[in-house]
Amino acid sequence: MIAAADFNIEKVEHSKLSQTNLENIPFGKYFTDHMLEVNYEDGQWKTVEIKPYQPIMLAPSVAAIHYGQAIFEGIKAYKNKEGDAFIFRPHDNFRRFNVSAERMQMPPVPEDIFIEGMKMLVNLDKNWIPDFEDHSLYIRPFMFSSDEMIGVRPSDNYKFMIILSPTGPYYNTPMRIYVEEQYVRAVPGGVGYAKAAGNYGAAMHATAEAKRKGYDQVLWTDAFEHRFVQECGTMNVFFIIGNKAITPDLSTGTILSGVTRDSVISTLKEMDLHLEERPLDIEEIIHAHKSGTLKEVFGTGTAATISYIKELRYKEYVMEFHVDQWKIAPEVKSRLNQIRYGQAEDKHCWMLKL
């Protein structure tokens, strides 16, 4: 496809790749040689620049820093045995990005910038996709308001960028989770369904308190009664109860509609599990645990794919799980990984080849 947008490509003179060891690289710390940057001015997107990864210069008055009109996405690229590169479901992230943009009163980014620009950028830095098991290239598109003006109003100017970060396995140890009853992440009518920067800053204090109590993350509950479970940190959450898989539904707008969540739902259905998307009460989870039918609990997201939960604490009640005996979550993870690394048929056409 010929991109309608104007692209201007400036390559690095010397790649940093030979000085970087990509094995077991920590998440989000290292960036590739190039980045994408495009400005929105006078009601339109200007020339897309793909250029050496470098700092950006901003005025102290730039609106995003003050009022948080800022959104992002997280996507991964994988390499198969033959060395071909693929991006996992980027069109789903593209659609979600513009849903977030609308909620934050920001202009939509056109597909020929988001998708075609991403493909060009990843292609240019393709050698940065690690070959090691469970490694990938994390793609971070983001947009922020860039008016140099501290009046509270939507900006006229925006900047959209994409940066790339090679990454190893994310949370590789099973997590201990604290069911949150004081702080809230999202309310109906709020921005919980948007990947808006402020959602993450707003969650950090509660997460830090859970960490002080010895937990890795919080399980968010609804704002009114602290009964209905929402998400686990920045991951969607699944419960295997009896022969059913249950995950909270998206209808109240308090849950981020994960691309991994959707992929896990498809995979569970293919495994002939009965799947329910519906409100899930913590009392039902406790009841299932007491009666021995609560089998597995796991979080899903692009960064970690699937994270096992080995302990869930609600008030004084502690639920522990024997992760090493689980059947379903490991099977889902393995099926998704096989598709991602080109070892199984990609029936859903999730992999976009570069």
Ligand X SMILES: *Cc1c(COP(=O)(O)O)cnc(C)c1O
C-alpha distances (whole Å) from 19 to each of 14, 16, 113 are 11, 6, 30
DSSP annotation string for 301-330: ETTTEEEEEEEEEETTEEEE--GGG-SHHH
Size of the site for ligand X (CB under 6 A): 14
Tell me: does residue 235 bind ligand X (CB under 6 A).
Answer: yes
Q: What angle do CA 16, 19, 23 make, to 5 degrees?
A: 110
Interface residue with ligand X among 259, 294, 312, 332 (CB under 6 A) is 259
Q: Which stretch binds ligand X (CB under 6 A): 10-18, 119-127, 258-266, 318-326?
A: 258-266
Interface residue with ligand X among 130, 141, 248, 301 (CB under 6 A) is 301
Q: Which stretch binds ligand X (CB under 6 A): 25-33, 52-60, 232-240, 313-321?
A: 232-240
Cα(231)–Cα(211) distance, integer angstroms: 17
- Cβ-contact 294, 285 below 8 angstroms: yes
Give residue for tokens 């943009």: 101
* Nearest approach, Cβ of residue 38 and ligand X (Å): 23
Q: Which stretch binds ligand X (CB under 6 A): 38-46, 108-116, 143-151, 229-237?
A: 229-237
Q: Is the Cα dihedral 326, 175, 93, 33 positive or negative?
A: negative
CB-based burial label for 7 (10 Å; 0-12, 13-18, 19+): middle
Q: Which stretch binds ligand X (CB under 6 A): 157-165, 230-238, 245-253, 329-337?
A: 230-238
C-alpha distances (whole Å) from 75 to each of 164, 283, 284, 313, 343 are 10, 34, 33, 31, 20
Interface residue with ligand X among 110, 117, 248, 258 (CB under 6 A) is 258
- Whose Cβ is closer to ligand X: residue 136's or residue 234's? 234
C-alpha distances (whole Å) from 339 to each of 155, 170, 298, 310, 348 are 41, 19, 20, 26, 10
Site string for ligand X, 168-197 (x = CB under 6 A): ---------------------------x--
Tell me: does residue 256 bind ligand X (CB under 6 A).
Answer: yes
Q: Which stretch binds ligand X (CB under 6 A): 10-18, 48-56, 172-180, 257-265?
A: 257-265
Tell me: does residue 76 bind ligand X (CB under 6 A).
Answer: no
- Cβ-contact 286, 256 below 8 angstroms: no
- Whose Cβ is closer to ligand X: residue 188's or residue 242's? 188
Structure tokens at 264: 């896990």
Among 33, 46, 109, which residue's Cα sits nearest to residue 73?
109
DSSP annotation string for 167-193: E--SS-S-EEEEE-SS--S--TTSSTT
* Nearest approach, Cβ of residue 266 and ligand X (Å): 13
Tell me: does residue 302 bind ligand X (CB under 6 A).
Answer: yes
Tell me: does residue 307 bind ligand X (CB under 6 A).
Answer: no
C-alpha distances (whole Å) from 59 to each of 55, 147, 346 are 13, 9, 46
* Nearest approach, Cβ of residue 286 and ligand X (Å): 23
Interface residue with ligand X among 155, 207, 221, 234 (CB under 6 A) is 234
* Nearest approach, Cβ of residue 293 and ligand X (Å): 26
* Nearest approach, Cβ of residue 353 and ligand X (Å): 20
Please compute Rg for the chain using Cα positions: 21
- Whose Cβ is closer to ligand X: residue 69's or residue 263's? 263
Q: Which stretch binds ligand X (CB under 6 A): 57-65, 233-241, 265-273, 330-338?
A: 233-241
- Cβ-contact 198, 169 below 8 angstroms: no
Tell me: does residue 231 bind ligand X (CB under 6 A).
Answer: yes
Q: Which stretch binds ligand X (CB under 6 A): 38-46, 143-151, 254-262, 345-353?
A: 254-262
Residue type, position 211, single letter: K
Tell me: does residue 166 bind ligand X (CB under 6 A).
Answer: no
Contact set with ligand X (CB under 6 A): 74, 195, 231, 234-236, 256, 258-261, 300-302
